[in-house]
């Protein structure tokens, strides 16, 4: 879901994208897109077509109605792209808005693309001296041509391990491999989502996360108080636990940490954000192990649901939800200026 903000008239214009890539004018009704385990929400084609500004001096947002008539919705000031996954977090829509000269909140093309691809994200973080879990990247072609070599590489990482698509999110296609006999099925699940897959050593430790915001007026990025994912009955923080309120995982913020641990997490979160040339915002996920901190991943457009860690961390740090959204919008407008 995109939200085009017309600040001159204080209007929020919801824009949906269908599975076929059609931009439609949506209803300003949050309940319509409530997360339900029995029926996940979906943007459907209602016959409208959002007509984006043509670039240059044109900043007017228009909609073509189902009957063919065109209405002007007002001057477009900024877009808040609340989009996950491919075409939302991978830099694609960000490049689209850059081409049109439309300001938008959140990550840019580079940091979005880097963080969407876990293989390149790890390479960049490791090059910047940010600790990451040991891993091997496997392409579909290599798995098909050299399965024994892949199994040997996986064995060298130890057990248990995690298998995940390189360019998917929300824990889709992720498996925990306890013994070697589970590897083939885990790879099949991951390859159903992407033709490039990571096998990672499982880090034993607490799962902590910190929310990062881009600095304002030339200042550096800043980090919130950390939160923690406390697993009770789940093996890992999967899609159901993240978005559907499933039992077995609790989101706790602020986390029960020492002042030294909080400072270390905030410092490393900002280092990771800077390493990927972060813009706007990110949620940085860590493992706090006995031998130190490891960055698991960065999300350049993290969840904003009532149970999501990113807003919870900033609320725990003294910011209200409306102030957080305002901060993202004002940062985007300041960058554009």
Q: Does 237 score more than 80 pLDDT? A: no
pLDDT tens by residue, 193-212: 999 999 999 999 999 999 99
Q: What is the arithmetic mean of pLDDT over 62-68?
A: 94
Is 230 found in the same domain as 183? Answer: no
323 annotated binding-site participant: no
Is 209 found in the same domain as 328? Answer: yes
Residues 6+ apart with CB under 8 A from 211: 223, 224, 281, 282, 283, 284, 302, 309, 310, 311, 313, 314, 317
Q: How far is it, in rounded angstroms, from Cα 189 to Cα 74? A: 45
Of 176, 201, 226, the residue that ends a domain is 201
Share of the chain above pLDDT 70, in %: 90
Share of the chain above pLDDT 90, in %: 73
Residue 25 lies in a domain: no
Residue 323 lies in a domain: yes
141 annotated binding-site participant: no
pLDDT at 29: 80
Work out how many domains the chain is built from and give that number: 2
282 annotated binding-site participant: no
72 annotated binding-site participant: no
CA dihedral 275, 282, 106, 18 (to 10 degrees): 120
133 annotated binding-site participant: no
Is 209 found in the same domain as 152? Answer: no
78 annotated binding-site participant: no
pTM of the predicted model as reported, rounded to 2 decimal places: 0.89
181 annotated binding-site participant: no
330 annotated binding-site participant: no
Residue 100 lies in a domain: no
Of 182, 201, 220, the residue that ends a domain is 201
Residue 229 lies in a domain: yes
pLDDT tens by residue, 282-336: 999 999 999 999 999 999 999 887 678 999 999 999 999 999 999 999 999 998 8
* Domain limits for position 221: 204-336
Q: Does 255 score more than 70 pLDDT? A: yes
118 annotated binding-site participant: yes
Structural contact between residues 226 and 313, judged by C-beta atoms closer than 8 angstroms: yes
200 annotated binding-site participant: yes
Residue 122 lies in a domain: no
285 annotated binding-site participant: yes
Residues 6+ apart with CB under 8 A from 191: 140, 143, 165, 197
105 annotated binding-site participant: no
Neighbours of 261 (CB within 10 A): 16
Structural contact between residues 227 and 316, judged by C-beta atoms closer than 8 angstroms: yes
205 annotated binding-site participant: yes
């Amino acid at each position: 879901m995109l939200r085009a903000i017309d600040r001159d008239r204080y209007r929020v214009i919801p824009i949906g994208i269908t599975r076929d890539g059609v931009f439609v004018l949506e209803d300003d009704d949050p309940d319509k897109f409530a997360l339900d385990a029995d029926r996940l929400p979906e943007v459907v084609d209602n016959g409208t077509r959002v007509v984006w500004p043509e670039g240059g001096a044109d900043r007017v947002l228009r909609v073509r109605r189902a009957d063919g008539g065109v209405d002007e919705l007002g001057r477009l000031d900024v877009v808040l792209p609340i989009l996950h996954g491919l075409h939302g977090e991978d830099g694609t829509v960000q490049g689209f808005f850059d081409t049109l000269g439309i300001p938008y909140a959140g990550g840019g093309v580079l940091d979005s693309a880097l963080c969407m691809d876990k293989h390149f994200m790890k390479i960049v973080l490791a090059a910047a001296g940010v600790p990451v879990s040991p891993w091997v990247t496997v392409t579909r072609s290599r798995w098909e041509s050299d399965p024994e070599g892949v199994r040997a590489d996986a064995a060298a990482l130890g057990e248990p391990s995690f298998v995940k698509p390189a360019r998917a999110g929300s824990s889709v296609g992720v498996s925990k491999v306890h013994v070697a006999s589970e590897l083939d099925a885990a790879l099949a699940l991951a390859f159903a989502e992407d033709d490039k897959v990571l096998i990672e050593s499982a880090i034993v430790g607490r799962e902590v996360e910190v929310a990062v915001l881009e600095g304002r007026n030339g200042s550096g990025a800043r980090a919130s108080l950390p939160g923690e994912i406390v697993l009770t009955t789940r093996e890992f923080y999967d899609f159901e636990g993240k978005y559907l309120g499933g039992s077995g995982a609790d989101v706790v913020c602020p986390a029960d940490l020492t002042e030294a641990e909080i400072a270390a997490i905030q410092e490393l979160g900002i280092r990771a954000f800077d390493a990927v040339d972060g813009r706007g915002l990110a949620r940085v996920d860590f493992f706090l192990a006995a031998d130190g901190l490891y960055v698991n991943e960065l999300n350049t457009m993290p969840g904003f649901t009532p149970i999501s860690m990113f807003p919870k961390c900033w609320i725990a740090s003294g910011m209200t939800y409306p102030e957080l959204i305002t901060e993202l919008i004002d940062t985007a407008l300041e960058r554009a200026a």
